[in-house]
Amino acid sequence: MIDERWLDLMNRDDAQLTPAEIAEGWHFCDEWDYLLVGPGSCEKCSHLVGRSGPPKWLYSLGTCLLVVVLYFLLIVVVPVAMGWVKVGR
């Protein structure tokens, strides 16, 4: 695919890949915010690189853990650090 074709596909909302481009491995990757990526260049699309990546639930679990840690910091650590809450005797 030439640069002008890639730019045309990326800049038009009605862009469509040809069957030949799809067969080569070009695709709009949903894991990369629908960036147009070529054959073998998308590590997150495990179905295209021939190996399985982490399961999607693992990303969700990571997000949940991040939210819990941030919540803990906001509710417990910040008030104690600011002196709003007294801890100990």
| pLDDT tens per residue across span 22-36 | 888 888 877 777 778
| pLDDT tens per residue across span 34-59 | 778 887 776 656 444 443 445 565 66
Within this chain, do residues 6 and 27 fall inside the same structural domain, yes or no? Answer: yes
Average pLDDT over residues 15-24: 85
Q: 16 pLDDT exceeds 50?
A: yes
pLDDT band of 82, cuts 50, 70, 90: confident
CA distance 79 to 18: 58
Burial label, 8 (beta-carbon count in 10 A; 0-12, 13-18, 19+) = exposed
Range of the domain at 4: 1-53
Within this chain, do residues 63 and 49 fall inside the same structural domain, yes or no? Answer: no
CA distance 62 to 34: 22
